[in-house]
Structure 1
Amino acid sequence: MKEQLKVIQIIDSLTPGGAEMMAVNIANGLSRKGVDSYLCSTRKEGLLKSKISGNVKYLFLKKKQTLGIYSFRRLYRFIKKEKINIIHAHSSSIFIGFLMKLWNPKLTLIWHDHYGKSETLENRKSDILKVLAKKINFVIVVNDLLYQWNKKALRVKNVVNLSNFASINKQTKEVIKLKGEEGKRIVCLANFRPQKDHINLLKAFKIIHQDFNDWTLHLVGLDLNDEYSDSIKGFIKTNKLTAAIFSYGSVENTFEVLEQATIGVLASKSEGLPVSLLEYGLAKLPVVVTNVGDCNKLISNNDTGLLVPPNNKLALGEALKELIINSTRRKLFAENLNSLIVKKYSEDSYLDKLIAVYLKTNDE
């Protein structure tokens, strides 16, 4: 190794989401591994700020424009002062990472591609990314589809597929108490975005609610109060499900919330490898998920959970019903999934692989 690793994670915001959670978890994990670890949020802070370890040096840019000169200079000076040698840019923060690389070619630039619409990659615009790719030293992707796309569309030589990981981060703050009856709660941990397809989940729940009206559904995730959010709330109200479906928005104490649930569900149209699914497993929840992205790497039918096709309310409803009526299967699936995640998707294993990437690029 030529020099001590000094790595900064750059992310647009600290609003709860898969990419944002990974940036924070990586920064915290690296600090525990003895790496000089930094984290920069460029545009917006959020609930995840409270999860940043005290050993991670944090910078907030308050960036408001695409090319904010003031923000650019602050980050450039921070990187120079701290003698940071690796930029780990997540998602769209690659743009400011690219500018840093232009001004200081000695920096190693790593792009973490968290693109969530893996099933529609043929529609992804690549012209600008092809320009940025010329300065990227290494690309990290979260599933095989993204690996192939970066290789073919961007012609990136160095690409590695590192599946996401999740970590248990219990909080001391007051925990949100889920409504409904204990032992009969279904939770969906997903931000209110169209690709998460909450409407399909609501349709499936409406079907099973007719026979299991003592079970409740709990939606946990960022609510932007936009048109998609209105469609979710409108469905709940129109179908008279306000006493059975509850929405909580973003929460700080995710793990403590999951501990109150009985079943975890994701109804997504597209995914990479969702952090939510990993968190379900760590919380020992039995799960029903749609067969998109790399979900099938974790979920094997009738072993670690139940897989259903996307956009199929009947299949989703039947799978939920199966877990509702069979507590023995719930326990078995939960234990199997938890064991798999602890063994193959642990934080230590992930960080060791990531540090190996850092060392490789830092020595070139």
Structure 2
Amino acid sequence: MRVLQLIDSLEAGGAERMAVSIANTLSESIERSYLCATRQEGLLKASLKPEVSYLFLNKTAKIDSAAIMKLKRYIKQEQISIIHAHSTSFFMATLMKLLRPGLKIVWHDHYGNSDYLEARQYKMLRLCSQYFSLILSVNSVLETWAKNHLKCERVSYLSNFATADAAQVLQTELKGTPGKRILCLANLRPQKDHPTLLKAFEIVNSHHPDWSLHCVGQDFEDAYAHSVYELVSQLQLQEQVFFYGSCPDSSAIIHQADIGVLASASEGLPLALLEYGLGGLPIVATNVGDCSSVLPKTLHEFLVPANSPEPLAKQLMVLIADADKRQQIAKLVKGYVLKEFSALAVRDKLMTFYDSL
């Protein structure tokens, strides 16, 4: 079996990390595992295992004939039988199916705004979906949506999974006081709702001024990012809130933190929460998407409503006030994530899907 993971970029986003993780995991289980980035390379390229064959198309337009023919030749040369297309790369995968009808297309839906699906633009996706052999959705809401709106007969749920690299070399040293750091792994996108997080942290800071907030994720240098930095200044949190941009050493960063937080307005199944859990962090998050599936039911008090700074601050301070409780909760979350979201379990399920094609 030869399977190609197809993704638009290798920047450090959730869909991108999953494409790399799947390619790496499959490299130990199938004849040949491939990954192709269509438009842009990025930090995650360094995370690919040597056993994964890699191709970069440098696609510059929606219809880029040079990139299309390059991928067609590569698929023929390598005798690839399945394209596992992630997120918006479905269009390129569909073109390959039209050029090579024997290919099987698996489309993986990582759509992060699953709480606002009524606003999703999907006309082209619906058209292309008739050529898919299988759709994989990262949560049950997206699974139901695909069954009701797209033209593929087979739709299934496949959970995200995270892998922790204990030997990862530390490149990013967090500022602030050791033992008193809150970490947010999230690109600077409106969906991640940094303003709610900052307003919650302002409340935390008024009670615990020695604690700090550390935001790791890509800065797109747009209006949203500018508004986030402006809010930090307005709240006078410049000495307690730190931004690091996109970083390649998330596992090493997590080991420097004490609490993991996510204040998203909408989510699919966020990898950040899985990474927090594997890294031994207690978690406070908004109850959106499938965030609740990452925590055992006994810890659902640490899931709070979206767009609500006060409950978010309250639960952060519950953890801040009790170091023993933080350790106990971190142990519970880690055990739960290892059991429910292990790479091996997801790999075996994915292999079953591939075999069925």
Would you call these one fold, judging by a TM-score over 0.5?
yes
1:224-263 aligned at under 5 Å gives the runs 224-263=220-259
Contact 2:87 2:111 in 1 (8 A): yes
For residue 18 of structure 2, give the secondary structure of its aligned residue in structure 1.
Answer: helix
- 2:143 is the alignment partner of 1:147: yes
Distance 2:124 2:50 in 1: 36
Hey, what does 1:318 align to over in structure 2? Answer: 314
In structure 2, which of residues 175, 186, 191 is the aligned counterpart of residue 190 of structure 1? 186
In structure 2, which of residues 35, 38, 63 is the aligned counterpart of residue 42 of structure 1? 38
**Structure 1 position 135, deviation (Å):** 0.3
The Cα offsets for residues 66-122 of structure 1, whole Å up to 9 and x where unpaired, read as 100000000000000000000000000000000000011100001001111001112
**Structure 1 position 179, deviation (Å):** 0.3
Q: Gapped runs of 5+ residues in structure 2?
A: none
Distance 1:145 1:172 in 2: 34
Hey, what does 1:355 align to over in structure 2? Answer: 351
**Structure 1 position 156, deviation (Å):** 2.5
CA change 1:305–1:299 in 2 (3 A) is farther
Hey, what does 2:97 align to over in structure 1? Answer: 101
Hey, what does 2:86 align to over in structure 1? Answer: 90
1:201-280 aligned at under 5 Å gives the runs 201-280=197-276
RMSD: 1.2
Hey, what does 1:328 align to over in structure 2? Answer: 324
Q: TM-score, normalised by structure 2?
A: 0.98
Distance 1:15 1:207 in 2: 33
The Cα offsets for residues 308-353 of structure 1, whole Å up to 9 and x where unpaired, read as 0000000101011111001222112111110011111100000000
CA change 1:273–1:187 in 2 (3 A) is same
Hey, what does 1:112 align to over in structure 2? Answer: 108
Distance 1:238 1:295 in 2: 30
Q: Which amino acid counterpart does residue 84 of structure 1 have in structure 2?
A: I
Q: TM-score, normalised by structure 1?
A: 0.96
Contact 2:170 2:252 in 1 (8 A): no
Contact 2:130 2:151 in 1 (8 A): no
The Cα offsets for residues 197-224 of structure 1, whole Å up to 9 and x where unpaired, read as 0000000000110110000000000111
Q: Which amino acid counterpart does residue 160 of structure 2 have in structure 1?
A: N
Distance 1:167 1:199 in 2: 29
**Structure 1 position 301, deviation (Å):** 5.7
Contact 1:305 1:334 in 2 (8 A): no
Distance 1:305 1:76 in 2: 51
> Which sits farther off after the overlay, 255-264 or 172-181?
172-181
Contact 2:292 2:300 in 1 (8 A): no
CA change 1:299–1:211 in 2 (3 A) is same
Q: Which amino acid counterpart does residue 76 of structure 2 have in structure 1?
A: K
For residue 146 of structure 2, give the secondary structure of its aligned residue in structure 1.
Answer: helix
In structure 2, which of residues 29, 44, 50 is the aligned counterpart of residue 54 of structure 1? 50
Q: Which amino acid counterpart does residue 358 of structure 1 have in structure 2?
A: Y
Aligned length: 357
Distance 1:331 1:114 in 2: 31
For residue 207 of structure 2, give the secondary structure of its aligned residue in structure 1.
Answer: coil
CA change 1:70–1:155 in 2 (3 A) is closer
Q: Which amino acid counterpart does residue 24 of structure 1 have in structure 2?
A: V
Identical pairs, percent = 45
Hey, what does 1:134 align to over in structure 2? Answer: 130
Contact 1:291 1:309 in 2 (8 A): yes
- 2:54 is the alignment partner of 1:72: no
Distance 1:266 1:300 in 2: 17
Distance 1:150 1:302 in 2: 31
For residue 111 of structure 1, give the secondary structure of its aligned residue in structure 2.
Answer: strand
Runs of 4+ in structure 1 over 6 Å off:
none
Distance 1:105 1:235 in 2: 52
Hey, what does 1:342 align to over in structure 2? Answer: 338
**Structure 1 position 304, deviation (Å):** 6.9
Hey, what does 2:305 align to over in structure 1? Answer: 309
